[in-house]
Amino acid sequence: MAETMARLHPLAAVKTVADAHLLAQGPMGRFSLRLAANAAPAPLGALGLSLPLAPCRAAQSETAAALWLGPGEWLLLTAPERASAVEAALRAELAGQAFSLVEISHRQTGLSLSGPRAAQRLNAGCPLDLDLASFPVGMCTRTVFAKAEIVLWRTGVEAFHIEVWRSFVPYLWELLVIVGAETS
Amino acid sequence: MLLITCPFCGPRPELEFGYAGEAHVVRAQDPREVSDLQWTEYLYQRSNVRGVHAERWRHAHGCAQFFNALRDTTTDHFVATYRIGEPRPDAAVEAGR
Ligand SMILES: [Zn+2]
């Protein structure tokens, strides 16, 4: 008899309750896009945006976000129900040039961290300078939080989006909860 | 914390980087054409500099790119960082002294 496994959120078994500033996000459509680093792609209709070419910068449209992770490497985020349509449209738009588009929706999970102490909380595990002058709104990068690799994106003066690989989610979550209690 | 200037991302904490050995070690175009001694030197002989050393680093937990750096092995001071393919910036060595 065929059975379908239910996909659980990586925090499904974690009992630690966070404060109002730390939120685990639900499903999201994600892609890793690689292009030749010197290719200057035209605006992508599939995403409604132009890929950011400046290092460590994100671009956002109403339906998608593109985060520069390295030369010729972007993380694309969309609503989960749009993922397959976005993928098909992107493949059509990029046809004819060398590219790699890999769906990674379930590889990682999004957390959002906000509040006046958000940067201080992140700095408990992340060695980046998160002052607004050196890490402004719209900046994004791969970095580390304690022993976990994360993608950090500043979406507001006091708001961050964090992407972390699925098996690291409980670890990151528990640490951010502890740090939140200590800095409040 | 020691900051290393990634040629793509700018100054970043050392924790994000990985060391990747001496830079500018050139592999023979056709290894069949070189002697065993030359090949052994390519594989195993390193300069082991005391002072300014050209070496490869990788911004592993950042942009993931390899780049080259000039670092003083006696002080751990990074004199310069530069992209793969660019010449060794020895002017920076003089300026950094
Ligand atoms: Zn970098």
Q: B15 vs A69: CB contact, 8 Å cut-off?
A: no
Beta bridge partners of A163: A110, A151
Q: pLDDT > 70: what percent of chain A?
A: 98
CA nearest to A53 within chain B:
B8
Q: What angle (nearest 5°) sits at the alpha carbon of residue A165, between those of residues A169 and A19?
A: 30
pLDDT digits over A149-184, tens only?
A: 999 999 999 999 999 999 999 999 999 999 999 887
Q: Which domains does chain A have, with CATH numbers?
A: 22-183 (3.30.1360.120)
pTM for the model stands at 0.93
Q: How far apart are CA A152 and CA A119, in angstroms?
A: 11
Tell me which residues of chain B, numbers 26 to 85, contact chain A at a CB-CB cutoff of 8 Å: 61-65
Which of A71, A73, A144 has the CB atom closest to B16's CB atom? A144
**Alpha-carbon Rg for chain B in angstroms:** 15
ipTM of the complex: 0.90
Q: How far apart are CA A86 and CA A26, in angstroms?
A: 19
Q: Which domains does chain B have, with CATH numbers?
A: 3-96 (3.30.2270.10)
Q: A56 vs B9: CB contact, 8 Å cut-off?
A: yes
Q: B9 vs A55: CB contact, 8 Å cut-off?
A: yes
Q: A73 vs B12: CB contact, 8 Å cut-off?
A: no
Tokens found for residue B59: 């911004």
Q: How far apart are CA A114 and CA A121, in angstroms?
A: 10
Q: Token pair 């060695």 is at which residue?
A: A127
Determine the pLDDT at residue B41: 95
Residues of chain B in contact with residue A127, where contact means CB-CB under 8 angstroms, are 1, 13, 15-16
Low-confidence ranges of chain B (pLDDT < 50): none
Mapped onto helix, strand or coil, the DSSP state of residue A134 is coil
Beta bridge partners of A150: A143, A164
Cβ atoms of A173 and A165 within 8 Å: the answer is no
Which amino acid is it at A84? S
